[in-house]
Amino acid sequence: MLYSLYILKAGKDGKSRSREIGIATTNKDGSETLHFDVAVPLDSDGNQVKVFKRQIEPKAQSVEQPAQAVA
């Protein structure tokens, strides 16, 4: 499985916006490996902000029609 790692960041309008900061993959044994693109930001108290994960859905494979011979 492939997951998107993201944080919620307040926008100028006060609404929360998600910001992707990395990906996570599931290993054969069920554990996860995290790949961060950037460091996890800190809140006002110096603690790391919460990181959320969302499953990345695979795109549907297009079914190709076999070529037909033209006589």
- pLDDT digit string (tens) for 1-17? 899 999 999 888 989 99
Q: Which domain holds residue 16?
A: 2-55
Residue given tokens 């997951």 in the structure block = 3
Strands lying side by side in the sheet with 16-26: 32-36, 16-26, 2-10, 52-55
15 domain-assigned: yes
- The number of distinct structural domains making up the chain is 1
18 domain-assigned: yes
Mean pLDDT of 50-71: 72
What percent of the chain stands above pLDDT 70?
A: 85
C-beta separation of 54 from 4 below 8 A: yes
Confidence at residue 68, expressed as pLDDT on a 0 to 100 scale: 55
Mean pLDDT of 27-33: 93
Three-class SS state of 54: strand
CA dihedral 18, 22, 25, 31 (to 10 degrees): -90
Beta bridge partners of 9: 17
47 domain-assigned: yes
